[in-house]
């Protein structure tokens, strides 16, 4: 089921089917709400509400791993890496906001290519998930990393 949904998302990013826009009526309503008093707070609440399903399961898994490890240093290391990975993009954008705007403008010129690439990757991932080959790819990748001596996570 998840593979089919990811496949549909990839097709949507390629422009097949749904265009991905809400239309001018919804867009103007969202912009008007954002300009209203309390708009930034409402936008933050909406962002947090949408962000929770992405962060919640991963954080819960890391907390379970940290608790099951029975070792304070490995638990701290897991949570520190998670925190750094979560905060780093926000801190980098916040610290270099004006430079970020210039970078975003340069990236915007290539938006269609980036969107098409992401769509193809989603289609590939959905297809791998649907066919069961994602599991095999994961097994082979772990074997390759072990052969190269890059299996540091097994020692935590």
pLDDT at position 117 is 93
Task: Extract the tokens encoding 31.
Answer: 């912009």
pLDDT at position 75 is 85
Distances (CA, A) of 60 to 43, 67, 101, 110: 25, 10, 34, 36
pLDDT at position 26 is 64
pLDDT at position 124 is 93
pLDDT at position 155 is 73
Is pTM beyond 0.75 here? no
* Residue 79 to residue 147: CA distance in whole angstroms: 27
Distances (CA, A) of 140 to 73, 124, 135: 30, 17, 9
Distances (CA, A) of 85 to 11, 27, 29, 91, 92: 29, 32, 34, 10, 11
Distances (CA, A) of 29 to 32, 34, 145: 5, 9, 50
Q: Which residues of the chain have pLDDT under 50?
A: none
* Residue 7 to residue 13: CA distance in whole angstroms: 10
């Amino acid at each position: 089921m998840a593979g089919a949904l990811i496949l549909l998302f990839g097709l949507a990013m390629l422009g097949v089917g749904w265009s991905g826009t809400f239309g001018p009526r919804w867009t103007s309503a969202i912009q008007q709400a954002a300009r209203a008093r309390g708009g930034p707070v409402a936008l933050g609440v909406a962002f947090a509400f949408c962000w929770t399903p992405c962060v919640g399961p991963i954080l819960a898994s890391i907390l379970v791993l940290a608790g099951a490890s029975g070792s304070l240093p490995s638990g701290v290391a897991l949570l520190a890496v998670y925190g750094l990975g979560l905060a780093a993009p926000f801190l980098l954008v916040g610290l270099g906001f004006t430079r970020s705007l210039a970078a975003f403008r340069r990236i915007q010129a290539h938006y269609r290519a980036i969107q098409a690439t992401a769509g193809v990757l989603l289609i590939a991932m959905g297809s791998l998930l649907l066919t069961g080959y994602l599991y095999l790819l994961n097994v082979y990748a772990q074997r390759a990393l072990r052969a190269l001596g890059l299996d540091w996570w097994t020692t935590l």
